[in-house]
Amino acid sequence: MPDREEKQVGIVISHLFKIFGANANNHLNALARGMTKDELNERHGLVLGLNDVSINMAAGQVHVIMGLSGSGKSTLIRHINRLVEPTAGQIIVGGQDVLKLDEHALRAFRRNTTAMVFQKFALLPHRNVLENTLYGLEIQGGDRYRHREKAMRWISRVGLNGFENRYPNQLSGGMQQRVGLARALASDSPILLMDEAFSALDPLIRSDMQEMLRNIQQEVKKTIVFITHDLDEALRLGDQIAILRNGQIVQQGSSQDIVLRPADDYVASFVKDVNRGRIIRVDAIMTPSNPASALPKSLLSADTTLNAAAKLMCQHGGHESVVVDGHGKPLGRVTKDQIMAAMIGYGGLWGSENGGGTSSFRPVLYSANQPANPGNRAER
């Protein structure tokens, strides 16, 4: 789809702090000693936005930053293109230290390296769909005819072919957000920043936009930083997910990590009502086995979801399947009982730290990287 081969660019954020208020640097040591967000506000009238955030965002993946209102997720994404200046820390984008860019270099960085899609669409009301899509390209400069051609391709790709002469007030909310996405994609920026981009949309339109973004990402392989407060959206879109609370990251990992191994009660409260069968893959719960052993007739790809696996096993009438990688190499085995247990969040064997109490139950769930023995329980 793009006219040129895009360079994939990763993001590395290290020990990032943001304190809103006067003399913010004077309070970094207090945070290091354990001062909380509430204490900082009560004693000094300052607001803690980010507290020692470190995260590595690999190039070409979708990185979801999730948290409730006030967790710091929007503050974090705005640091990447320096719409917000940090109190302390480092931001490296494609090997470039963003915090050391002068005004001219920062302007070029924003034009060419990052593009942003906002929750409130941010369309120019006096410009039609085509003109809004062209806006970022016009700022970059260059051949207007080629820019127009590129904009029209992206307008068509997001499903707005025939609407290029309509104005924002003639479009639905979902259509306006498609324009915002087309504008960001047309710029060919390797990094796409999406701040609650679908939060204002109705559920069905939101689901359509999520699916469209997934399909487009398979083509363009951009580094996408996606902000949301919705766990289902995070699990559906994210290659990697970081959960924020009070300006701190409480857990980072894949959707499998988050659902199967929540780091604490806060994360566990998010995932307790998740449709596990739609999210968890068989390679996350399989029992690793000897590849040379006899194979059952039924084979499952490692990325098969539990829902799909259960359906296939019922159709084939088997009790056990072999899990294979993309080249057909056996990785392990999974049984119908394991699948059913994982779908309801119960591992079949339970351990209790309190000699039988209910508060410390831990399901036994085996990952592809764990030996299958009762000593390796996935801690809840």
Q: Where are the domains of the chain?
A: 60-79+101-271, 277-363
What pLDDT score does 162 carry?
Answer: 93
- Predicted TM-score (pTM) of the model is 0.81
pLDDT, position 72: 94
Cβ contacts of 336-343, under 8 Å, gap ≥ 24: 336/310, 338/285, 338/286, 338/287, 339/282, 339/285, 339/306, 339/309, 339/310, 339/313, 340/310, 342/260, 342/276, 342/280, 342/284, 342/285, 342/306, 343/276, 343/277, 343/280, 343/306, 343/307, 343/310
Enumerate residue ranges in the chain where pLDDT < 50.
1-2, 4-5, 347-380
The CATH number of 277-363 is 3.90.1280.20
Domain 60-79+101-271 classified CATH 3.40.50.11900? no
What was the pLDDT predicted at 122? 82
Looking at residue 167, what is its pLDDT? 95
| Per-residue pLDDT at 320 | 87
